[in-house]
Structure 1
C-alpha cells in the first residue's frame, strides 16, 4: 500500500479508503489510486484484514439442492447483496439431509464466515447456539429454524396453496388431489394446510386417497398421480406442491385424459406448454435479497429481536388451472 500511495501521490489512508470502498475520496483521486493499483499489480491482503478487523468478509449459503432451478435466483440475489457489501459468498448443498446440513454449517463456521443464510433440512438447530452467542449472524430462508429463535424469511406457502386450490374450485372442480413433498418439511405441511383450508371453506370433503406427501422422486410422484386419476371417483384436478412435483405431473398428464393442474412454484417453459401451466409463483430472488439484507443489517451492528418476514405469492393463470371438469 505504501508503494501505491507513493505512486499516486496520496496518503496511506486514502489508498485504504479506495481499496475498502469507503467514502471521503474525490473521483479524481480515486481514479489515480486505481490506476496505480493496476500499474503496480496491488492485491489486498485479506489475511491481514481478518487479523485486524476480526472479519473474513465472507458469508455462507446452505441450500437444499444447487441443481434445483428454484435456488438459482435466490443464490444470485444473496451473492449480489454480498458483493455490494464487499463480501464473498461460499455456498453448498445439504441434499435435504439434516446431518449433512449440520456438517456443512459447522464447516463454514470453522472457516470463520461472518454470517450464514440457511435453507434448513433439519428441525433442530440448537447446534448453532454457541456460534450465535459468539456473534455469528444467521438468517433462515424458506423454512424456519428448529428449536432456536432466529430471523426467517418465508413465502406465504399456506396462503398461496389456498389461493391455488380455490382457483380450481372456482372453475368447477370438487375432487382435487394434492401431491407434495416430505411431511417433515415446513413448506410441504403449510401447502397441505392451505389445500385443506380451501376445500373446507368450499364445504368439500377430502378423501384420504386425494392426499399424498413423500419423496419428489419422479416414480413416487407418478404413482401418486396415477392412483388419484384412477379408481371409482378419480380426481378432476391436481394441485402440485412444488416445481419438481409439477414437472412429473405434467409428464403423467401428457399420456392421460385432460385434468386441470395448478403447481406451486413457477418453472422454465411452463408458459410454452399447451395448455400453459397455471402456477402459484413465489419470488425466489426476493427471498434471497431480503434474507441477505437482514444478515448484513446484523453484521453492521444492529441487534434487533429475531423477525419472521413472510413474502406474498402470486397466482399466474395460464390455462391448465382453468380447464373445466371432464364430462363423466
Structure 2
C-alpha cells in the first residue's frame, strides 16, 4: 500500500481509540482530491475494531431476535463456512434449553437446531424465490488467504460470519461502490506471496454484501432522513466530502467522526467553518494524528476529543 494510503488507513485505526475512554474522536482531513480517502479511512476503522470480539450481550440479543421471528421467516444460515437459505420453522427445547428450528434448502432440506451459542450463524436477511433444494450453499469467504494477509492474526471465519456495524461512509453511493467493488488490492502472505482481493472483502459493506455478514455500510448523502444512519455508539462515521458533512454532522452525536474535505469542492469553506466551530468545543487536542508517517504534502489533519453525550 502506498505511504499516502497507509497514512489514511492509520487515521481510521486511531479514530476508534476513543471508544474505550467514553470520549469520541473527531478528525478533519483536507485533501487535494477525495478519491479513495474515505474508503481507506473506513478500512482503518474496520481493521482497528476487527480484534474486538462480539460481546455476549450482543449474541444474547441476536438469539432473542431469532426466537421472536414468525414461522416461515426467510434467513441465511452459515454451516461449515457455507451460506444456505433457510426457513424458520418454530421453537423447541432440548434439556430445557430453547432453540430455533430452521429448515435448510439443500439436499434433504435438513432441519437444524440453533441455540444461543451458535445464534450468530443465522442472519436475519430475507432472500427471494422458492426453496431450491438442489442449490448448493454459497461460500461466504471468497478469498480467505487475502483476509489472513490483510488482517494478520484475524480468524477469517469469525470475520466472515459475525456482523457488526463498525463504520459507515456517508457520500455518493455510486462513487463509493466503484471504489469498493471494482478496485483490486494486494496483500502479502508470510511466505511473501501476494494475494489479491477488493476493498469489499475487507470492509464488508452491508449495502453491497448481498446478505453476507457485514462490518460497515455506505449511506447516500441524499438520504432524506436520519433513520438510514446506524445508531450504534461504537460505529465511526466517515464523511466523504463537504456536502454530507454539512448535512449530517449532527446526526450521530455519540459516534466518532472523520470528515474528508476535498479542497476543490465548492462547499469546502462552509464545511471547514463547521469544523472550526466544533473545534472550539473540544475537550483535548490529539497530537498523535499529526505524527503519522507518510502524510503527503497537500494533506492536513486536525484531531481532537469531545466528551460523548
Using structure 1 for the length normalisation, give the TM-score: 0.28
For normalisation by structure 2, the TM-score amounts to 0.29
- Ranked by relative contact order (alpha carbons within 8 Å, sequence separation 6 or more), the top structure is 2
Q: Which has the larger share of helix?
A: 1
State the structure with more CA Rg. 1
